[in-house]
Structure 1
Amino acid sequence: MAVQRQRPPRGLPFVLSVSGAAAVLLVLAGCASTRGLAPEGRAIEADSLAASRSLGTPALSDAAFPARDWWTTLGDPQLDALIDEALRDSPSLAVADARVRQASAQAGLADAARRPTLGASARESLVRLPETLAPEPLGGDVNASTVLMLDFKWSPDLWGGKRAKYEAAVGQARAAQVDAQAARLTLSSNVARGYIALAQAYEMLDVAEREQARASHLRDLAGQRVEAGLDNQLQLRQSESTIATARQQAQSAQQQIEALRNALAALLGKGPDRGLDITRPHLLDAPSPNVPGVLPSELLGHRADVVAARWRVEAASRGIDASKAAFKPSINLNALVGLASSGLSELFSGDALLGFGGPAISLPIFDGGALRSQLAKSDADYDLAVASYNQALVGALHEVTDAVQAARSLDAQIASATQARDAAQAALQLADARYRAGLGTQLDVLSAQRPLLQLEQQLASLRAQRYVATVDLDRALGGGVAPVGPEAASESHSSPDLAGAPTP
């Protein structure tokens, strides 16, 4: 007797196949693993960087951080106008601004990648098959087809990988925005430094011209003494050498003035003729070197380079999350709906409906180590960002300390040089009084004038260095910018938003 085999229900093989596939995927899920991969970088705590003894008690105070227009403390309206012009017109800022737009666009691309897409298309086709391939009625006839399609695609962000990529891009965009602020601070500092050098060059020109006048007078006296038989040619030749040296110093100072005017014009984004309109600087005394007593911790929120480095650490951290999410299964939803017919008259009939779609699941199993290498790279990127942040923090505190110590030392040197200059001035006055009383000669007066001119030249150099120390300190303290760090941004926005980023 034949035994009839009972056939299983039609839906059971499909259920078994799906269950089996899912089981296989779960078994093989361990093939692509993140085991053993982790970043090694550790950010330095700002308060662990002791600086109070180096800065000294007199420097630490309740002073505020520099204002946004910190250069106004130098007291020269022309400098104020030049920096304003540079910040408005300089093309050197265009690079930083373009990088901001580039990073913002990249963040927009990352945001778009996690959203569903819908596209539409229309196509009209004509097909003619040769009779040698297909008999009538297909062969030899021209067949037309019209297709209207809607294509929907979406890959749900199950593990937050796409959001992490978006947040990483936002972090990079914010870092670029802070870099643009730093570029403006650098530009204003360079204008101030060039202007200070211009002031020093003018003072050097004054001293050289006075020395040339003194040496010329000394030569005239030496010539008269030689003609009278009271002296030989030695004094005359020495005075002529002094005149030539002073003339060369004056020429060098004039060339320096012209070069600095050209440099300032370039910083302003203008041609060299703009520099000819820059008149002689008139700087006031540099302010005392006082820094806020909340250093070093508060320095983190005022230094643009430190804040930008923190944003890059935050972006690198999100990059690690995105790389880890790639190890997990993903689902893609795809739906294609449209109308297709051989003619426009039948295109909108019920028989013309065309549809395709469904979910697709994928899981990395064997990829040749690509995912682990990508995660290792993300870990290394994070370590690099942390190291750059630590370096920026240490460098920032180092710059503040250098500027404070330089200003303090220069103040002492200026006081000593001023005391020496006053003594030389008194000696010149005494020599002049003796000459007028008939107790001395003009040679005594001219000899007493030389050390005075040398000390005035030294004072001009020290004052210029002291102005530079003021600029360096204001720049080291952040230059009055207020960049938004990751912590402040996370408090003000529940999710990353470029619209809330600081405007450079």
Structure 2
Amino acid sequence: MTDQYRRQLRRSIWVASTAAAVAALSLAGCVNYAGIRSDKQIVPPAIYETKKSLPAEDGRWPAMDWPSQFGDPQLSTLIDEALAGNPTIDQARARIEKASSYIGTANSALYPNVTGSYSWTRERYSANGLVPPPYSGTWQSENNVLATASWDLDLWGKNRERLRQAISQEKVADAEAEVVRISLAASVASAYNHLAQLYALRDIEVREVKNREEITQITHGRVCAGLDTNVEQQTAKGETATSRSNVSDLDGQITTVRYQLGALLGKGPDRGLTITQPSLGDVADIALPDNLPADLISRRPDIVAAYWQVEAAIHDVKEAKAEFYPDVNLSASIGLDALGWGRFLTASSRQLSAGPAIHLPIFDAGALRAQLKGRYADFDYDVATYNQTLINALSDVATQVSQIRSDDRQLVDAQQALDAQTTAYQLALVRYKAGLNQQLQVLNADDNRLAAETAVVDLEMGRRDKHIGLIKALGGGFNAAGTGLAANTETPIPAPSDNAATH
């Protein structure tokens, strides 16, 4: 074979290889994501009208130690205990650890992968097979040691986008853990406030038992004097028994709430029985912080979680787009391979290989396009979830504020009603003792006074419960700026572009 022929042969091989590569790339162009896109965007809070519902009042955002404002040290202790030992907190921590492991997995794809192997095989070669003498018909041992390295060049950023997606998902898990923490603290405070309400109602009923016993004694004296009949006497005894029954009912409800608190603390029901009677103080007037809608998105962990979920979806879309482009993987291996031990560690037994591997999506029956459509659908869903979360958060704050102020107005009238009904009862009782009123008037006046006093307690405790709800609605002391979860939310996250693979 002449040198000219060799050159022509090499030239022909090069031309054929180039043509094949061009043809492959041209065919790869048939697998594209043209026409698959989304125009969805997260909505900035400024677009929603909130000035009337959420006026700026120079108030403060809740602090992390917000339970202390209620003046009962036991409440703060219970919340700390719940946050330290409740299984839901452990579940949230486990989700964070799992998300963190995905970051490690995604990060490893950016670097070369090196593996090593060794094998020893004992084999008898056929005397009539392909193996020539002197090895045919004999037993031989083959030793093979091999080190292999491979590296995905990630020319289109697929692995980098997968890493960014994993980082965003970890931030989602972190924010969701804050949601769990705040919800648990608010649940403990709310249950504790309900326990305080039941104790207050029980105190009212205990006093009511004494009132009914006093009426019973007065009725007994009037019966002996011939002023009342046995009907009034039995009625008075029945009313007293009913009040005692109400006390027993409240005792049962108190025990039930204690069990609930024990569960919230992550302990058994007996832990709830050790909780002493609450001594919660009065709640101060509320004042909303300034710039509330804009700042709320960094104060509410559920909104922060929704934000990072959108961010993760963007990286998912970019990763799916990168799948349309060729993958280039470099691989190399070096090792030793020999029959027997004598020449195993010699230079002549070495084995070497190196080269690139290219993966081209030429025809996949629409699989990649379907995958990208699914990623865009996830993105649209996450954007809608973010927008709905923001709407719900604004409505939540406005609702709590409105209800608190409604309770404040009701409390003024309810207290006036209680004062009037108390005076009416006292007058009716005096007139009954003097024989000027019938027993029924006294009982009716007492029922009215009891209802008025119960209404005041319910409003006071309900207002405190709504205050707890407002603290939760305002983020419960969370601030993304201090947790590494802050993001630039001044400008809404744009929809992922449809004209580039990674940018």
Partner-residue secondary structure (3-state), 2:317: helix
Matched with 1:112 is 108
**Structure 1, unaligned stretches of length 5 or more?**
491-504
Letter in 2 for 1:13: S
Question: Does structure 2 retain, via aligned residues, the 8 Å contact 1:310–1:486?
Answer: no
Deviations 1:385-405 (A, max 9, x none): 101100110000011001100
Question: Does structure 1 retain, via aligned residues, the 8 Å contact 2:140–2:340?
Answer: no
1:229 aligns with 2:226: yes
Question: Does structure 2 retain, via aligned residues, the 8 Å contact 1:330–1:363?
Answer: yes
Structure 2 CA distance, aligned partners of 1:194 and 1:373? 49
Deviations 1:178-197 (A, max 9, x none): 10111010110000000000
Letter in 1 for 2:59: A
Alignment of 1:30-429 (within 5 A): 30-55=29-54, 57=55, 60-131=56-127, 133=129, 137-428=134-425
Question: Does structure 1 retain, via aligned residues, the 8 Å contact 2:298–2:486?
Answer: no
Letter in 2 for 1:400: V
Letter in 1 for 2:33: T
State the shift of 1:384 in Å: 0.7
State the shift of 1:449 in Å: 4.5
State the shift of 1:241 in Å: 3.2
Letter in 2 for 1:27: S
TM normalised by structure 1 equals 0.90
Q: State the number of aligned residues.
A: 482
Matched with 1:18 is 17
Structure 2 CA distance, aligned partners of 1:340 and 1:489? 60
Partner-residue secondary structure (3-state), 2:52: helix
1:21–1:76 distance in 2 versus 1, CA, 3 Å: same
Partner-residue secondary structure (3-state), 2:292: coil
Structure 2 CA distance, aligned partners of 1:77 and 1:193? 15
State the shift of 1:242 in Å: 2.0
> Sequence identity, in percent?
36
Structure 1 CA distance, aligned partners of 2:388 and 2:45? 12
Letter in 2 for 1:71: P
1:199–1:458 distance in 2 versus 1, CA, 3 Å: same
Partner-residue secondary structure (3-state), 2:286: coil
Structure 2 CA distance, aligned partners of 1:268 and 1:228? 59
1:67–1:268 distance in 2 versus 1, CA, 3 Å: same
Matched with 1:500 is none
1:487 aligns with 2:487: yes
Structure 1 CA distance, aligned partners of 2:224 and 2:139? 122
Q: Say which is worse superposed, 148-157 or 25-34, in terms of deviation.
A: 25-34
Structure 2 CA distance, aligned partners of 1:486 and 1:333? 38
Partner-residue secondary structure (3-state), 1:53: coil
TM normalised by structure 2 equals 0.90
1:370–1:116 distance in 2 versus 1, CA, 3 Å: same
State the shift of 1:343 in Å: 3.2
Structure 1 CA distance, aligned partners of 2:154 and 2:375? 20
1:27–1:213 distance in 2 versus 1, CA, 3 Å: same
State the shift of 1:464 in Å: 1.2
Partner-residue secondary structure (3-state), 1:149: strand
Q: Say which is worse superposed, 39-48 or 132-141, in terms of deviation.
A: 132-141
State the shift of 1:227 in Å: 3.8
Structure 1 CA distance, aligned partners of 2:373 and 2:163? 20
State the shift of 1:43 in Å: 1.2
Letter in 1 for 2:168: G
State the shift of 1:445 in Å: 7.0
Deviations 1:342-374 (A, max 9, x none): 233422321011011201222101101110011
State the shift of 1:429 in Å: 5.4
Q: Say which is worse superposed, 228-237 or 71-80, in terms of deviation.
A: 228-237
Matched with 1:474 is 471
Structure 2 CA distance, aligned partners of 1:383 and 1:291? 33
1:191–1:364 distance in 2 versus 1, CA, 3 Å: same
Structure 2 CA distance, aligned partners of 1:7 and 1:160? 41
Matched with 1:459 is 456
Question: Does structure 2 retain, via aligned residues, the 8 Å contact 1:128–1:143?
Answer: yes
Structure 1 CA distance, aligned partners of 2:374 and 2:438? 79
State the shift of 1:234 in Å: 3.1
State the shift of 1:431 in Å: 5.9
Partner-residue secondary structure (3-state), 1:31: coil
Question: Does structure 1 retain, via aligned residues, the 8 Å contact 2:53–2:398?
Answer: yes
State the shift of 1:245 in Å: 2.6
Structure 1 CA distance, aligned partners of 2:486 and 2:153? 27
Q: Say which is worse superposed, 23-32 or 5-14, in terms of deviation.
A: 5-14
Structure 1 CA distance, aligned partners of 2:198 and 2:178? 30
